[in-house]
Amino acid sequence: MRKAQVGAITAVLLTGITVGVASVVYVWGQPILDKRDTGDQLDEVEGLVLDIQSEVNRVSQAGTGATSSVPVQIESDEYSVNIVELNASSDYIDVVVEGGEFPYPEGSWTLLSGEGMRNLSISGGDYVLEGQDSGSVILARPESGITTYRIEFRNVFSDGDDVPLEKTDLISTGSTVTGSGSVYLENAGTQVSRGSSGLTVSSGQTLARELSKIEVEMR
């Protein structure tokens, strides 16, 4: 797989939504209600997560043969990345971080990027609507000193299109990074499923779906 260096991604304003908890507005990596001395180092950790999401989205949209890579490394004495792991069957990448403090509720998934938790591995629903929500989200879950950041991809429905569903489909060619390494991405083309090969949703209807197939190698 060809490799390309990834530039830094600037901070963005996100809405943090926690299951069963009132919504709180966050500046990415530095909650407005919980500023701390370790904020810059937490920004670096969460910047890595955002870089991975952004590059998967970019490669997915760039067409067949597009490539990129994201180095898995942070300069921090508060936090360390234990492992980056791909779950290809559910189309998510977990970045597991140890150390420091995290401003998210213990034992619960907090939504950091996206408008809602529909059509995820931890929730129900067949798809989200184009223009109302995004095809990828970022979640965070601290538990017992370990925080898992999850970058997950889901179905997006566009009414009136010949192929109404689109999704980024992650394909594993090397599924974990421990300590340090890089995440390598390559667009392997698209696959359209129609008729009986389409996606049957909860209403019983079968919808055509286009998958943007992204090979993910971690080493």
Neighbours of 217 (CB within 10 A): 20
List b or e across 82-106, with b for residues whose CB sees 16 or more CB atoms inside 10 angstroms: bbbbbeeeebbbbbbbebbebbbee
Q: What is the pLDDT of residue 120?
A: 98
CA 102 centroid distance within chain:
18
Domain count, the chain: 1
Residue 25 lies in a domain: yes
Alpha helices, DSSP H, located in 119-174: none
Q: What is the pLDDT of residue 17?
A: 35
Return averaged pLDDT per consecutive 10 residues of the chain, 219 residues in all: 36 35 39 47 93 98 97 89 94 94 94 96 96 97 96 95 94 81 96 95 96 95
Distance CA 81, CA 176 (A): 12
Residue 212 lies in a domain: yes
Residue 108 lies in a domain: yes
Residue 8 lies in a domain: no
Residue 3 lies in a domain: no
Residue 4 lies in a domain: no
Residue 5 lies in a domain: no
Q: List the domain range (segments joined by +) for residue 87.
A: 13-218
Bridge partners (DSSP) of residue 139 are 111, 150
Longest dimension (CA), the chain: 55
The SS3 call for residue 65 is: coil
Residue 168 lies in a domain: yes
